Structure 1
Amino acid sequence: MPDYVLDRPVEDDVDEFFAIDSDPRVWTHLPSGRMTEREEAEAILVKLQSQWELDGLGPWMVRQAVGGELVGHCGCSLRGVSGPGASHSEPGAFWNLGYRFRPEAQGNGLATAVSRDAIEAAGTVDADLPVVAYLLEHNIASAVVARKLGLEIVHRAPDAGNPDAAAVRLVFADRELTAAQLDATLV
């Protein structure tokens, strides 16, 4: 098991966060998702900080040592709700598990280990909500992580809105999803 430190996002993370999310090697499965402007990273970090404040949980910034270089971000975010501070009890609510790491930090179990922490944290905040990971079918490494976590495929369909018309979205979950929850994963 790799060593790692989990921190809530802060403004000082912006340059390293941008370096990860603008790296084409991180986005081989969805090139159109890559950040191209530092301002995008600033805006997303503000959103991640507010998730922690409003929902009691959000993605962590992942380092391999205290004060060390940012190697990725991973965690559960509340999705399928409308507006800031929306209720966890909305019909479409679920925890979205996401993970993104520098290529140099991939392949050593880090995404799986931190994702396990994220799922545990989501259960502590609101265990009634399912944990969902959605990804593109050709992203084999992410699918392997989802399966290692015990998530199962609950939906497979074309990825609506993807510039690649042949792209297929897989939705993994830790339990059966309601129609509203499944619909919310497809947005």
Structure 2
Amino acid sequence: MNTDRAATTDQPEDRTERLDLHVPRMTDLDELHRLYSDPRVWTHLPSGRFADVGTTRNVLAGWISAWDAGLGTWVAREDGKVVGHGGCALRNGVFWNLGYRFSPEAQGRGLATELSRRALDRATTLRPETPIVAYLLENNRASAAVAEKLGLTLRHRGPDAGNPDPSAIRLVYADRPLQPEVLKATQK
């Protein structure tokens, strides 16, 4: 699909059965900040909550530029309303990072799995040689369940570097065994 057109109009870049998937735009800032500042979205990592709109703006700018690789994070809309975001973004040039976050009202309905299946299909088509990785905290069981439903396999379990909770454990799921340099890149 034409990402230039999608980035400047209200037309989705892609669709799933229930979601319109849009290339992120700065006009999404307020809706995304509502999502990222909601403490209910951060029960697994309370320190990750975005306290100010500037943080959301910086993350959003990164999502927008990630589309230079041909794929990135989508803003997910259901019936015209932003319910979350997710997709695959190229990280460190060595792996696709699969990520997703949905509003509490949208959670538990399979939307993350639906969006992620589309992202995996697109990433595999675009760069089949590049591993797809989902890294998450061990206490985020719902996110791990999505990764497992997608057929990703647990490839690493260890301390979550940089986490303010020294007991936090990072899980790394992937679609294939990871070379040491790729695994190291997931720890940054």
With the length of structure 1 as denominator, give the TM-score of the two structures.
0.90
Shift of 1:80: 2.2
- Specify the SS of the correspondent of 2:54: helix
Aligned positions, number: 173
Q: Which has the higher contact order (CA 8 A, sep 6+)?
A: 1
What residue number does 2:33 align with?
18
Paired letter, 1:13: D
**Alignment check: 8 A CA contact 1:2 1:108 kept:** no
What residue number does 2:65 align with?
50
- Specify the SS of the correspondent of 2:147: helix
Shift of 1:2: 5.9
2:143 is aligned with 1:142: yes
What residue number does 1:74 align with?
86
What residue number does 1:31 align with?
46
Q: Which consecutive segments of 4 or more residues in structure 1 shift more than 6 A?
A: none
Shift of 1:107: 0.2
Paired letter, 2:64: Q
What residue number does 1:112 align with?
113
- Pick which of 102-111 and 37-46 moved more: 37-46
Question: Within 2, Cα distance between the matches of 1:147 and 1:183?
Answer: 22
How much identity, in percent, do the aligned residues show?
54
- Specify the SS of the correspondent of 1:6: strand
- In structure 2, the gaps of 5 or more residues are 1-15
**Alignment check: 8 A CA contact 1:2 1:109 kept:** no
What residue number does 1:161 align with?
162
2:76 is aligned with 1:62: yes
- In structure 1, the gaps of 5 or more residues are 82-92
What residue number does 1:88 align with?
none
Residue deviations 1:94-121, cap 9 Å, x none? 0000000000000000000000000011
Question: Within 2, Cα distance between the matches of 1:156 and 1:183?
Answer: 12
Question: Within 2, Cα distance between the matches of 1:158 and 1:45?
Answer: 27
The CA RMSD measured in Å over matched residues stands at 1.1
